[in-house]
Structure 1
Amino acid sequence: MAVPCGSAPSMENRMRLGILTYALPHLKTEQVLHGLLRRGGMDIALYALPFVPRPERKVLFQHRPDQLAAAHPAAIARRFSLPYHEVPTADAIAGGDSDPPDTMLVTVGALIGPRLLERTRVFNVHAGLIPAVRGLDAFKWAIHDDMPLGVSLHAIDADVDRGDHVLSLPTPVYPDDTPATLARRHYEAEIALLIGFQDALRAPASPLPGLDDRPARKRMPAETERLMLDRFPAYVERHAVDRPLRPQM
């Protein structure tokens, strides 16, 4: 991948952006980084947390690509001469006399402590339409609960997916979608919104209308996932459109 050419913002106007990731190969981080580098105009630093393996759980449908099938963030940092820091916690980024970035994007499911939030704007893209689809496995729960699909850029605070809302974008559903094609499109929308976060910050919008505030969900159990897959054809029939939906600004 080539670093973009063309005119760049002056050094005074360049955003100091941090990317919070894991210290292991991570696909979402790789994709977001490459997209941000293509856009240019930012001084990017990577902050890598230790990854704690989770117990294996039975999944009937894997709705996200293999996140380990990627380059290590340290290798990307070396390739593009980006600062790379391994930190024990997110709060360590703002510890002591450190000078944390102005803004941070989170590409992993990390806990963000109050020290960092006091000193830095931290943003995440949630794979659901806030406030109706919050928590884990948002793609699957939206289908199970017959809710619209979409992604939401929001600031991070102490509550799950309740930080200041920036922008939500619906994910188009097409008549010939399978679970795999819809999951791929939904994941790509998540990546695109992270890469375009500056555009969203310049033109924020309220959450999409008609969505009730619902509790955050946990991981979907296998038996519920089976029911979700059974409901998928009816979901597509109800939600399919002939063209991409446009966000309401």
Structure 2
Amino acid sequence: MKIALLTHRRATRCAVIASALAERGIRPDLIICEAQPQPPAAARLRQLILERGPQALADKLLARLIRPRAAASRDEAQAERPPDAPSYAAQHDIPLLDLPDLNSAASLDRLKGEAIDLMVHAGAGILRAPLLAIPRLSVLNAHMGVLPRYRGMNVAEWAAWENGPLGATVHWIDPGIDTGRIIRVAPVDFQGIGSVAALRAAVDKAQIAALADLVAEMVASDHQPSAQAQSREDGRQYFTMHPMIVGLLEQRLAQSA
């Protein structure tokens, strides 16, 4: 089975997924990198305010003032991060294919010639229907929420905030947002989770393990697993959680741990 990971050049998620696959004796045949151009500063600022509110601008300016004092800690954190996609590909001698836009006609023609059986979303952007139709077995994704209930952004945090089901879902990607057929849900226990960082880490660990296990099963069987369709009405779309709510959630988790 020919497996390709879809990612972008700065993504570290590709290395995390590839490492989990390697632990199960699977080596991707190809890493496909989409260029991710840096938007203009004004556009980034507008997006920051839309996602996090006006206070985010003040927080950003404050962070710049204290940056010199935090440089050493930041360097240590960077050193602990997984490598980006090109670095991982070079380290493990995996072919790397750079494409400016995964959904362009030229990229689609190029990918059709690769005869890929399975694609795994590993940090790429939004995928359109023509790309989803290229691999023989379609495109897999791991999602940090229980589908169909929790679609969209910060769903681990929203599940904790609402005392809803916590977990991860492996599903096929379709042209919607987290609306593809559900293959597997990996539940996560709230017990012992005392921070938002711990919450995200627990759900991320569950989603990577579930995804890697499923790929290993597919490699062994060379077949699509059974999957359950979901309708758009079955769930709800969530958006970026406001920092104020994140702070309240942090306090709640710390008190309940």
Normalising by structure 2, report the TM-score: 0.71
Task: Find 2:84's aligned residue among 72, 85, 94.
Answer: 72
Residue in structure 2 matched with residue 82 of structure 1 by the alignment: 94
Residue in structure 2 matched with residue 245 of structure 1 by the alignment: none
Residue in structure 1 matched with residue 243 of structure 2 by the alignment: 222
Deviation at 1:31, TM superposition (A): 1.5
CA pair 132-67 structure 1, distance change in 2 beyond 3 A: farther
- 3-state SS in 2 of match to 1:148: coil
Deviation at 1:20, TM superposition (A): 0.6
Larger helix proportion, structure 1 or 2?
A: 2
Q: Is the 8 A contact 2:142 2:168 kept in 1?
A: yes
CA distance in 1, matches of 2:247, 2:26: 45
CA pair 95-44 structure 1, distance change in 2 beyond 3 A: same
Residue in structure 2 matched with residue 10 of structure 1 by the alignment: none
Deviation at 1:74, TM superposition (A): 1.8
CA pair 230-214 structure 1, distance change in 2 beyond 3 A: farther
Residue in structure 2 matched with residue 232 of structure 1 by the alignment: 253
CA pair 108-80 structure 1, distance change in 2 beyond 3 A: same
Percent of residue pairs bearing the same amino acid type:
20
1:49 aligns with 2:66: no
Residue in structure 1 matched with residue 8 of structure 2 by the alignment: 22
CA pair 206-151 structure 1, distance change in 2 beyond 3 A: same
Counterparts of 1:142-181 in structure 2, within 5 Å, are 142-175=159-192, 177-181=194-198
Paired letter, 1:165: I
Where structure 1 has 5 or more consecutive residues not aligned to the other structure, the ranges are 1-14, 238-249
Task: Find 2:122's aligned residue among 80, 97, 107.
Answer: 107
Deviation at 1:187, TM superposition (A): 1.6
Deviation at 1:199, TM superposition (A): 5.0
Q: Is the 8 A contact 1:94 1:100 kept in 2?
A: no
Residue in structure 2 matched with residue 185 of structure 1 by the alignment: 202
Q: Is the 8 A contact 2:12 2:85 kept in 1?
A: no
Task: Find 1:37's aligned residue among 22, 37, 56.
Answer: 22
Paired letter, 1:94: L
- 3-state SS in 1 of match to 2:194: coil
Paired letter, 1:45: L
1:140 aligns with 2:160: no
Residue in structure 2 matched with residue 95 of structure 1 by the alignment: 109
Deviation at 1:67, TM superposition (A): 11
- Alignment length, in residue pairs? 213
Deviation at 1:200, TM superposition (A): 6.2
- 3-state SS in 2 of match to 1:48: strand
CA distance in 1, matches of 2:28, 2:203: 28
Q: 1:87-135 CA deviation, whole Å, 9 max, x = no partner?
A: 1222354325623411111111511012111222111001000011110
Deviation at 1:145, TM superposition (A): 1.8
CA pair 113-206 structure 1, distance change in 2 beyond 3 A: closer
- 3-state SS in 1 of match to 2:241: coil
CA pair 52-196 structure 1, distance change in 2 beyond 3 A: farther
Normalising by structure 1, report the TM-score: 0.73
CA distance in 2, matches of 1:105, 1:176: 29
Q: CA RMSD in A?
A: 3.1
Paired letter, 2:96: Y
- 3-state SS in 2 of match to 1:90: coil
Paired letter, 1:104: M
CA distance in 2, matches of 1:66, 1:231: 29
- 3-state SS in 1 of match to 2:237: coil
- 3-state SS in 2 of match to 1:131: coil
